[in-house]
Structure 1
């Protein structure tokens, strides 16, 4: 069975695609974003997958790739077009190469025009293709910078993408209107730049008159992406907090395990967000815990000192997960949830104050 997830970075309007083979648990990730590495790594872990490759459709100008960070975290390797001119990749892809994960594979199709190193990845059964900035939904990538060539892009689309089965679904690297997927048939008929009877000269004239603004992050993104996202002198926004051995979930919550918390109670502040009757009820509470019910937390967060990290706890871990988001919004940076809450804490035989024996 194919595992497929379409992920989105709202800052750059970039889609990242996770494909996995369920039987082997091997996976690939197309166009990862630097700031979303925690999210992507959490999803891969939660789905029980092993990331073999990160794949780039091209050298991006609007975001920095997460390929290097994922390689360091998960041991994945980096693949990018040989024509892209990058350093630090493990595989410089050529037209016709196949990237395999388990029993599935992606065919590499060279589709230059937006940049020299643009690639479209086609799934082995030709039901899906990942077009990068070559074909967008009812549009195409720009051709006015970074080796852009409108004639080359027109020919790439017509010969390498529109030649796929009309039912083949096309997944772009970006969309700015919330659209998620299209098909070869749709774009051949309805794409105002490339579809219908539009000829090469029509497309070139269209692209010459777009008058688009310069990408905001190009001066940062392109140099970083030419080294596969390895940080230079810029600060890394994806560094993990180091006050505890934390785990980041796909839901966006930092978690800490009960055994660590029990051994380090003096180094943190435990925030219990249950109701008062629960705090003094049968499950008891963790020694030294401060009680602030979840419904009061937003208004009372300023009462909490910031001298120690905060671990939030509730009955089962759901209310306390929400509490971490409230605390972060209130300016607390070192916060984590206790997964499983007091039910798990008591179930593992850990110490409590009060409660029933």
Structure 2
């Protein structure tokens, strides 16, 4: 069996491959590693058969939806998952077969109600149910400390102590553990009384994960992340450097419209000399009046270079084929000491 562990910060994903059939399964993929997964598959000569999320993640963005669309493979989750993009929903005990390998789902609610562990040979991919030296938290949506107690003490910890444990998260540089080691050393598992375990889990006082709201929105509903939208927009437009714009302004040409898409207060506080003002929120509504000639070259500008990228992509979709975005924004323009002017347009 081919096993590749791929880290994204503290998040862990796993590529399992059958060398005989050249087929593979990807577990808990993270969106920032999308190109890496595709590269590893190509390097190993593997074809992806399934992409599996062990649960609805609240701390990172799953790549399952994107991989499903790109490669035409089923996105797999537990049947309790609300993710609309999941094609194949597993019950406790269901198996996925790829080549000569068989991966069995074990429903282990607690961290979330759709959490499952994935068992193959002597390995257990535990998602956030069991971590190395810890467990998944139970204070996020659908978490339940009593259910986690049952999943751990009545299911997971009854497996062969030699079973290797591969969690979805590790922040201490440890790639794996074993059931036996966790029983002996994991401090949370020393609370073997149900009430004491639940009490401990309810008073961990953990901070909310970064990007939790966006992660839950995208992973539960199948929406796009802000980074995805920005990346898609960036693929549709060219960019102009700050230095190039400064040179063009000094030369005094009239073949470029600098369009500031920030809100009025930001524009009036300081903008590039000669810039025109059209807030991004009004772009589609006012573009015909403000920019009647679609053949003009338009350079969009914002504070940090992100909203202007979205605006330039929108302009191109509207037919302004020469729309360009500034590589950077007014913040960097000011930091370089380039001149600004204040007041209304």
TM-score range, shorter chain: 0.5 to 0.7
Alignment coverage as a number of residue pairs: 238
- The reply on whether 1:48 has 2:42 as its aligned counterpart is no
Residues 222 and 211 of structure 1, relative CA distance in 2, 3 Å threshold:
same
Query: Offset of 1:234 from its aligned partner?
Result: 6.1
- The reply on whether 1:4 has 2:3 as its aligned counterpart is yes
CA–CA distance in 1 between the matches of 2:126 and 2:102? 16
3-state DSSP of counterpart to 1:221? helix
- The reply on whether 1:220 has 2:214 as its aligned counterpart is yes
Residues 187 and 27 of structure 1, relative CA distance in 2, 3 Å threshold:
same
**TM-score (norm. length: structure 2):** 0.65
| Contact residue 214 and residue 225 of structure 2 kept, 8 A | no
Partner residue, 2:163 = 168
Per-residue deviation, residues 304-336 of structure 1 (Å, max 9, x unmatched): xxxxxxxxxxxxxxxxxxxxxxxxxxx9xxxxx
Partner residue, 1:321 = none
| Contact residue 82 and residue 221 of structure 2 kept, 8 A | no
Partner residue, 1:231 = 224
CA–CA distance in 2 between the matches of 1:90 and 1:82? 10
| Contact residue 137 and residue 182 of structure 1 kept, 8 A | yes
Select which of 146, 154, 159 maps to 1:151.
146
CA–CA distance in 2 between the matches of 1:35 and 1:240? 17
Select which of 85, 88, 91 maps to 1:91.
88
- Structure number with the higher helix fraction is 2
**TM-score (norm. length: structure 1):** 0.63
Query: Offset of 1:198 from its aligned partner?
Result: 2.3
The correspondence of residues 275-294 of structure 1 with structure 2, limited to 5 A, is none
Partner residue, 1:100 = 97
Query: Offset of 1:236 from its aligned partner?
Result: 3.7
Residues 237 and 122 of structure 1, relative CA distance in 2, 3 Å threshold:
farther
4+ residue stretches of structure 1 with deviation over 3 A?
A: 232-243
Partner residue, 2:340 = none
Residues 96 and 231 of structure 1, relative CA distance in 2, 3 Å threshold:
same
Partner residue, 1:319 = none
Residues 240 and 9 of structure 1, relative CA distance in 2, 3 Å threshold:
farther
Residues 86 and 42 of structure 1, relative CA distance in 2, 3 Å threshold:
same
Per-residue deviation, residues 93-123 of structure 1 (Å, max 9, x unmatched): 1111101110101110000000000000000
3-state DSSP of counterpart to 2:189? coil
3-state DSSP of counterpart to 2:97? strand
Select which of 64, 67, 70 maps to 2:67.
70
Residues 99 and 219 of structure 1, relative CA distance in 2, 3 Å threshold:
same
CA–CA distance in 2 between the matches of 1:58 and 1:158? 19
The correspondence of residues 1-357 of structure 1 with structure 2, limited to 5 A, is 2-10=1-9, 13-123=10-120, 125=121, 127-195=122-190, 198-228=192-222, 230-231=223-224, 235-236=228-229
Query: Offset of 1:73 from its aligned partner?
Result: 2.2
3-state DSSP of counterpart to 2:35? helix
Residues 165 and 237 of structure 1, relative CA distance in 2, 3 Å threshold:
farther
3-state DSSP of counterpart to 1:107? strand
Residues 203 and 215 of structure 1, relative CA distance in 2, 3 Å threshold:
same
CA-based RMSD of the aligned residues comes to 2.1
CA–CA distance in 1 between the matches of 2:208 and 2:92? 30
Residues 184 and 237 of structure 1, relative CA distance in 2, 3 Å threshold:
farther
3-state DSSP of counterpart to 1:193? helix
3-state DSSP of counterpart to 1:68? helix
Query: Offset of 1:152 from its aligned partner?
Result: 0.6
